[in-house]
Amino acid sequence: MLILGLQGSPRKKGNTEFLLSLFMAEARKYGARTHIVDVCRKHIEPCREFTTCEKKGFCPIKDDMDPEIYPLLRKADVVVPASPVFFYNVTAQLKALIDRSQTLWARNYRLKLTDPNRGMRRGFMLSQGATKGKNLFLGVDLTARYFFDAVGAAYAGSLYYWEIEHRGDMEKHPKVREDVAAAVKTLLEPYQDRRKILFAGRRNAARSQMAAAFAQMNGGKVIDVSMGGVAPAEQIDPLAAAVMAEKGIDMMFRIPESLDDALAGETPETIVAMDTVEIGDTRASARIDWDLPDAEGLDIEGMRRLRDEIEARVSDLIQPPTS
C-alpha cells in the first residue's frame, strides 16, 4: 500500500509540510509505504491545451510529469495533496500538476480505458489558510474533488484549518494530531485485512504486469498487490499493453519494478511466480508457481492466449480460501 503525498507549498518547513508529514507518519503506523513529491521543486510545465491527451492519450510536454509523476499517481493507493490557500485555491505549482492530470482523465473518459487500481484508490485533501472566512476552502475543495476523479481516486475526505498564517501555527494547533490520527484510521482501515500477494517474473514487463492488473481490478478489495522482476525491463511490453487495452484495461504509466525493491517493502503472504524464476530468501509463507510461457517473442495471438490464461488464474486466486 503506497500513500503518495503532493507537497504544494513553496515554503520549506512551513505549515503545509508539517501537516503532510504528520499525516504520512500516522499512515506508516498502519504499515503503509509513503512517498512525498515536493511539487515546487519539480519541473512541471502548465497545460498548453494541445488536446493531444484527448486524442492520443498522452501529453506531448516532456518534464517531470512523465516519467515520474504520472507513474506515481498510477501506483498510489492513496493520493494526498497538501497546499496553503492562494486566492481561494491551491498554489500555482500544485495547480499545474492538477491541470496536467487531464491526460489521465482523457485516458479514462475519452479513450474508455480503466486504470486497474481505480476501484480502490482514494484521495484525501489537506489545506490551511490565514483567514477565517466560511468560503476559504471552497475553491480548494472543488479542485481536489475533480482532481481525484481525474486520477482515478474516490474522494475520501479532507482536513482544512482556518487562521493558520505564521510559521509554526499548524504545529501549535490544539487538535491537529487528534484530527490526523482519526482521519488516517478511517481512511486506511479498509486496506488492513487484504491478503498481500506479490507477482514475480523475470522482466516484470508482461506476465506479472498483467496478473497484477487483473488482481487489482477484480480483487482489490481482498488483495494488496505488488509485483517485481529479477531483471526488470525499461518498459512494459507494448504487445501486452495492447491486448490488455482490448479488455479496456489501461497499462499506460505502469513501470517495471525490481523484485528486490518489491520485497524490501511490505512482506507478501504469497508469492506467485510466473515460472521457475529464482526469488531468493523471503519471509513469504507460500509460493505458487504458474509455469507460464515466456511472453517475450510472442505474436498477438499468443499474447492474447497468455492474457486469458492469466486472467483465469487470477480469478481462481482471488476467491476467498475455503476452510
User: What percent of the chain is modeled with pLDDT above 70?
Assistant: 97
The alpha carbon of 33 is separated from its chain's Cα centroid by a whole number of angstroms, namely: 11
H/E stretch holding 122: strand 122-128
For the segment 157-178, what is each residue's pLDDT rounded down to a tens digit? Answer: 999 999 999 999 999 999 999 9
Q: Mean of the pLDDT values across residues 284-297?
A: 91
For the segment 24-55, what is each residue's pLDDT rounded down to a tens digit? Answer: 999 999 999 999 999 999 999 999 999 999 99
The pTM assigned to this predicted structure is 0.95
User: From the CB of residue 30, how many other CB atoms can be counted at a distance below 10 Å?
Assistant: 15
CA distance 164 to 169: 6
CB 253 within 8 A of CB 58: no
Instruction: Give the DSSP per-residue string, 286-320.
Output: EEEE--PPP-TT--HHHHHHHHHHHHHHHHHHTSP
Residue 266's pLDDT is what? 75
